[in-house]
Amino acid sequence: MDKISTNRVVKIGIVVDDIEKAARYYADLFNVDMPVIKTPDPNAKPDPARYKWYKGEYRNFRIRTAVVNLEPVFIELVEPIDEGSPWSEFKNQHGQGVQFMTFYIDGFQEHINYMQEKGMPALLKEEKGKERYAYFDTAAKLGVTVEFKEIDKT
């Protein structure tokens, strides 16, 4: 593999302090419907099957999300709930702001290997049914975290 399989940014991830307020601002600014805010059930017991691999260990952390559809790009608003996640760590270090850019790719493991060879290893990996995604240690070199997402075509 000699390059990333795409050059199309499909999502920009923004960590926010107050997701309701941020979602309203974006909806008003772009004159789009108020995005659905997804909030995990606070009474749900941790499900080990939903743990995410992060910095070498499996962790369970929760976030609230809202997707503002501005096709061909989506803005994903992220409000961290739990400490110890990439989103809470970003917020603690930088406050609100753009944390990641997402590229859809083909060949998940090949891309993980490619980024490792470039000195930017995976920080977070998760598989969700027909989807898998990974965040990479790219902020120091690229100024933003890169996320790859692969969706099965079948």
Q: Measured at the alpha carbon of residue 134, what is the angle toward residues 64 and 130, in degrees to the nearest 5?
A: 80
Q: Walk me through the domains of the chain, giving residue ranges and CATH numbers.
A: 9-39+49-68+80-151 (3.10.180.10)
Please list the rounded mean pLDDT of every run of 10 residues in the chain (154 residues).
91 98 98 96 79 90 95 96 94 97 96 97 93 96 96 86
Edge-to-edge, what's the strand order for the sheet holding 63-70? 37-38, 63-70, 73-80, 9-15, 97-104, 145-151, 131-136, 122-128, 52-54, 57-59
